[in-house]
Amino acid sequence: MIINHPLLGPRDAQEFTYLGDASLIDRPDWQAPDAARTFYEYHYLRDNPAGEHRELWFHEQGDRSWLVVTRNTLTHEITKVELAREVARTRGRSA
Amino acid sequence: MRYSGFKVIKEALTGHKGWTPAWRDPAPQADYDIVIIGGGGHGLATAYYLAKQFGGKRIAVLEKGWIGGGNVGRNTTIIRSNYLLDGNEPFYEFSLKLWEGLEQDFNFNAMISQRGILNLIHTDAQRDAFIRRGNAMMLNGADAELLSVAQIRARYPFMNFDNARFPIKGGLAQHRGGTVRHDAVAWGYARGADARGVDIIQNCEVTGFRIENGICKGVETSRGFIGASKVGCAVAGSSGRLMAKAGMRLPIESHVLQAFVSEGLKPVMPGVVTFGAGHFYCSQSDKGGLVFGGDIDGYNSYAQRGNLPVVEDVVESGMALFPMLGRVRLLRMWGGIMDMSMDGSPIIDRTHIGGLYFNGGWCYGGFKATPASGWCFAHLLARDEPHPVATAYRFDRFEKGRMIDEKGMGAQPNLH
Ligand SMILES: Cc1cc2nc3c(=O)[nH]c(=O)nc-3n(C[C@H](O)[C@H](O)[C@H](O)COP(=O)(O)OP(=O)(O)OC[C@H]3O[C@@H](n4cnc5c(N)ncnc54)[C@H](O)[C@@H]3O)c2cc1C
């Protein structure tokens, strides 16, 4: 698989480490009254779709950036690659 | 029809005209007491033990393709009970005992071969861990023996004992472990279940659940609605996809695991060898091919095929352990989709939906579990309480912090 890095261009997926579902960006509020429940769901439960999946890849052997890759789990086709930082920012999670 | 030596000779002398199909091909009925989704090893074993052991009546197994076409026919066929944790070891030892009597029990040759499994030791820390594991196994009535380098050399002279990174310093052997003709397990259970009245319905995909007021009334299928008082889901790597149709999110991700087989060789590998440090395991099939595998590809997949980097990685590990592999041609490779649960252990439990039961999360080790999984799931479906050896396999263990993290790798499915 080739991941088209937004800053560095096409890179072999072998340079990356995979973390999992990009929903892990949406860390729940630890002070919320239902934090125990939301952290359990955040940590352990997954949509696990067959088809389009947004996921986190770490460019470990490159610029060490985190990417959000939109990939089809049935075909391995990659349709979108974003910097995780930008994704987090648009959701108000990062400065 | 019972199979026997006498029957084989009689058929040989009379032109093989007396063999009949091993199971019927019934049309689905409007409703059943119990419907099992998934005609893999686990689903068929569940139906078999329900009918045979728990007196179940009016049972159907629904399979979207053909029985035995899933992971039960794709795995590397290794059976063993060399686990450490309390939640696991009694369960897997129960399974191994069932394997030992299986062929007599269902009158079908599954070529169960207790040729032994050897886990190699490369460091002192690993030796300590394996001694502890061996003791845990023996406490649970399983067999375990620590082997010296000399003992291993006598059996496997061709291994690279002096690898610079992973020298072989010993091994933990379970002599009762071994291999099984995997697809014959599906056929044997199917035949046994069919003979006891279970309807095995192939080419019948479950596409949804009919849930009214929190109670499951049956399943929607490609062959129409089928009503059921109880529905048990045992669909291996499709669990996430199917249970989403009941509105559930599971502590599971789907990943692909590849396996490989070489050209046929004369007998060289007497047993099963695992090289944990390098992620490689190997045995020789009865046809002579070396059957081996390694790590999962490492990202969510339903593609049922692997990618080349893992092929390279597995073959490198293999070469590090068995330099002779370099002279052997690879015949085939394939991939299977498995549920990777968040602690690497399975789930056999009721769901919060009445009448809907779940069996899944077997990761890449569920083949050895087939008999016990079927037995325990049948127990749960018939009696509505977990079997004593499967009490730890609950959904709520993640919420309650009672994970069964056999490999000590945490809540990261891609690390198991
Ligand atoms: C390459 C590989 C190697 C492995 N090696 C080993 C090993 O050496 N030892 C070991 O213990 N384990 C091993 N495993 C794991 C083991 O194979 C599985 O955990 C186990 O076989 C899964 O249970 P099963 O046999 O019931 O699954 P399957 O045979 O996959 O059965 C599930 C069935 O459900 C059907 N299904 C899915 N969705 C639907 C639907 N909507 N409606 C109807 N039917 C449906 C599928 O078609 C399939 O036939 C390996 C797995 C793989 C992929």
B234 lines ligand 1 (CB under 6 A): yes
> Residue A31 carries which DSSP code?
T
Dist. CA B114 → ligand 1 center (Å)? 22
Chain A residues with CB-CB distance to B250 below 8 A: 45-46, 48
Task: From B35, B71, B292, give the residue whose CB has the most ligand 1 atoms within 8 Å, as the site to mutate.
Answer: B71
SS3 A73: coil
Distance CA B37, CA B41 (A): 12
Site to probe by mutation for ligand 1, drawn from B49, B78, B174, B235 as the one with most ligand atoms within 8 Å of Cβ, is B235
List the one residue out of A19, A53, A44 whose CA is nearest residue B298.
A19
State the pLDDT at residue B305: 84
Which of B43, B73, B74 lies closest to B60 in space, CA to CA? Answer: B43
Ligand 1 atom at minimal distance to the Cα of residue B73: 29
Residue A94, pLDDT > 80, answer no
Tell me the pairing of strands B31-37 and B224-233: parallel
Q: What's at B78, amino acid-wise?
A: I
Site from A16, A56, A73 to mutate, B interface, most B CB atoms within 10 angstroms: A73
Check CB contact under 8 Å for B253 and A46. yes
- B414 contacts chain A (CB < 8 A): yes
User: For residue A91, what pLDDT is reported?
Assistant: 87
Contact A44 B398 (CB under 8 A): yes
| Least CB–CB distance from A50: residue in B241, B252, B309 | B241
**SS3 of chain A: helix, strand, coil, percent, to 5:** 25, 35, 40
Question: How close, in Å, is residue A2 to chain B by CA atoms?
Answer: 12
Q: Contacts for B384-388 with beta carbons within 8 Å, 24 or more apart?
A: B384/B350, B386/B348, B386/B349, B388/B90
Q: Considering only the beta carbons, identify the residue of A18, A44, A74 that sits closest to B299.
A: A18
Between the alpha carbon of residue B250 and those of residues A43, A52, B226, B339, B360, the distances in Å are 11, 18, 24, 10, 10
Locate B177 and state its tokens: 């472990």
B299 touches chain A (CB under 8 A): yes
Rounded CA separation B405/B382 (Å): 29
Q: How far is A41 from chain B (nearest CA, A)?
A: 8
* Cα–Cα distance, B361 to B414 (Å, whole number): 13
What is the model's pLDDT at position B279?
86
Ligand 1 pocket check for B235: Cβ under 6 Å: yes
Q: Is B196 left (phi over 0), alpha (psi -120 to 50) or beta?
A: alpha
Cβ count within 10 A of residue A76: 16
- Please list the residues that pair with B341 across neighbouring strands: B252
In whole angstroms, what is the distance from residue B198 CA to residue B55 CA? 12
SS (H, E, C) chain B: CCCCHHHHHHHHHCCCCCCCCCCCCCCCCCEEEEEEECCCHHHHHHHHHHHHCCCCCCEEEECCCCCCCCHHHCCCCEECCCCCCCCCHHHHHHHHHHHHHHHHHHCCCCCCECCCEEEEECCHHHHHHHHHHHHHHHHCCCCCEEECHHHHHHHCCCCCCCCCCCCCCEEEEECCCEECCHHHHHHHHHHHHHHCCCEEECCCCEEEEEEECCEEEEEEECCEEEEEEEEEECCHHHHHHHHHHHCCCECEEEEEEEEEEEEECCCCCCCEEEEHHHCEEEEECCCCEEEEEEEEEEEECCCCCCCHHHHHHHHHHHHHHCHHHHHCCEEEEEEEEEEEECCCCCEEEECCCECEEEEECCHHHCCCCHHHHHHHHHHHHHHCCCCHHHCCCCCCHHHHCCCCCCCCCCCCHHHC
Q: B77 CB less than 6 Å from ligand 1? A: yes
Q: Chain B contacts of A1, Cβ < 8 Å?
A: 307
Kindly report, residue by residue over B196-236, the tens digit of the pLDDT: 999 999 999 999 999 999 999 999 999 999 999 999 999 99
Regarding the beta carbon of B338 and ligand 1, being less than 6 Å apart is answered yes
pLDDT at A95: 66
- Residue B301, chain A, CB below 8 Å: the answer is yes
Taking the C-alpha atoms of residue B284 and residue B269, their distance in angstroms, rounded to an integer, is 6
**Chain B residues in contact with A44 (beta carbon < 8 A):** 251, 342, 398-399, 411
Contact A47 B244 (CB under 8 A): yes
> Which amino acid belongs to residue A57?
W
Please indicate whether, in this complex, the C-beta atoms of B300 and A19 are within 8 angstroms of each other.
no
CA–CA dist B336, B350 (Å, integer): 26
CA of B237 to the centre of ligand 1 (A): 6
Inter-chain CB proximity B412 and A20 less than 8 Å: yes
Q: What percent of chain B has a predicted confidence (pLDDT) above 70?
A: 99
Q: Considering only CA atoms, which residue is closest to atom 19 of ligand 1? A: B366
**Residue reference for tokens 């004992």:** B161
Please judge whether A45 and B299 are an interchain contact, meaning their C-beta atoms are less than 8 angstroms apart. Answer: no
Cβ separation A44–B251 shorter than 8 A? yes
Distance from the alpha carbon of residue A92 to the mean position of ligand 1, in angstroms: 42
How far from chain centre, in Å, is Cα A30? 21
Contact A41 B249 (CB under 8 A): yes
* β-strands B59-62, B199-201 pairing: parallel
List chain B pLDDT tens, one digit each, 416 residues: 899 999 999 999 999 999 999 999 999 999 999 999 999 999 999 999 999 999 989 999 999 999 999 999 999 999 999 999 999 999 999 999 999 999 999 999 999 999 999 999 999 999 999 999 999 999 999 999 999 999 999 999 999 999 999 999 999 999 999 999 999 999 999 999 999 999 999 999 999 999 999 999 999 999 999 999 999 999 999 999 999 999 999 999 999 999 999 999 999 999 999 998 888 999 999 999 999 999 899 899 999 888 899 999 999 999 999 999 999 999 999 999 999 999 999 999 999 999 999 999 999 999 999 999 999 999 999 999 999 999 999 999 999 999 999 887 777 776 66
ipTM entry: 0.95
Retrieve residue B112's tokens.
């169960």
Among B251, B298, B302, the residue with its CB nearest the CB of A45 is B251
The DSSP bridge partners found for residue B280 are B275
